[in-house]
């Protein structure tokens, strides 16, 4: 038995509508990463767990940032407790730099010289970067690049 063209068209429209509804659901909008409020406090918590602090520099509306947040850092933060905070490139939200001085997210990004979103930094003792930055959107070997830098940062932090 074959379906009539009208029935097939209706089924396709229903599937398309269902897909659009799922895509618009807030639960699928993305994982949230905590926004930095005080890098010294966030770093102290990470170091107490013998971990580096992972800082994701992002930009509101950046699709590559969404991918890094939703597919890499967010799941690691939720499942493994990876200490990670987010700093928005253009946000004037207050925070404290690694020396404890008041600043804003945007000023912090400028001070770090970050020009690309997303950029992931790995911060260790004394607020020093302990592994190379991972700049730019995901690529074929993004997971391996992230894992390698995290391993390097963990070695520097514990050892």
Residues 109 and 137 both lie in one domain: yes
136 plus 88 within the same structural domain: yes
Residues 90 and 16 grouped into a single domain:
no
Q: Which among 45, 127, 140 is positioned nearest to 84, based on CA atoms?
A: 45
Greatest extent of the chain over all pairs of C-alpha atoms, in Å:
73
**pLDDT over 80 at 19, yes or no:** no
Residues 35 and 70 in one domain: yes
pLDDT score of 3: 52
Question: Is the preceding omega at residue 118 within 30 degrees of 0, hence cis?
Answer: yes
Examine the domain organization and report whether 37 and 11 are in the same domain.
Answer: no
Of 140, 142, 152, 136, the C-alpha closest to 54 is 152
pLDDT in tens, 76-118: 999 999 999 999 999 999 999 999 999 999 999 999 999 999 9
User: Domain of 88: which CATH number?
Assistant: 3.40.30.10
Residues 25 and 8 in one domain: yes
- Do 90 and 135 fall into the same domain? yes
Separation between Cα atoms, residue 52 and residue 48, nearest integer Å: 10
**What domain count does the chain have?**
2
Tell whether 14 and 88 lie within a shared domain: no
| 133 and 88, same domain (yes or no) | yes
Higher pLDDT, 9 or 147: 147
- What per-residue confidence (pLDDT) applies to 12? 40
pLDDT single digits (tens) 43-56: 999 999 999 999 99
Tokens 């253009």 correspond to: 90
Do residue 81 and residue 102 come from a single domain? yes
Cα angle, residue 52 at apex, residues 65 and 151 outer, rounded to 5°: 85
The whole domain housing 141 covers 31-158
How much of the chain, in percent, has pLDDT values that exceed 90?
76
With beta carbons less than 8 A apart as the criterion, state whether 96 and 40 touch: yes
Residues 24 and 38 in one domain: no
The answer to whether residues 14 and 87 belong to one domain is no
* Token couple for 97: 């730099």
Neighbours of 14 (CB within 10 A): 10
């Amino acid at each position: 038995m074959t379906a009539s063209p009208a029935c097939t068209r209706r089924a396709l429209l229903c599937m398309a509508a269902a897909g659009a509804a799922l895509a618009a659901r807030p639960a699928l909008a993305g994982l949230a990463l905590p926004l930095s409020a005080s890098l010294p406090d966030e770093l102290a918590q990470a170091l107490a767990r013998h971990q580096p602090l992972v800082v994701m520099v992002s930009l509101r509306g950046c699709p590559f940032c969404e991918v890094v947040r939703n597919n890499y850092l967010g799941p690691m933060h939720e499942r493994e407790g990876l200490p990670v905070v987010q700093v928005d490139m253009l946000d004037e939200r207050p925070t404290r730099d690694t020396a404890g001085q008041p600043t804003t997210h945007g000023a912090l990004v400028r001070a770090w010289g970050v020009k690309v979103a997303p950029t992931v930094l790995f911060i260790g003792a004394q607020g020093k970067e302990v592994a190379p930055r991972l700049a730019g959107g995901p690529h074929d070997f993004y997971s391996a690049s992230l894992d390698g830098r995290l391993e390097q940062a963990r070695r520097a932090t514990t050892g």
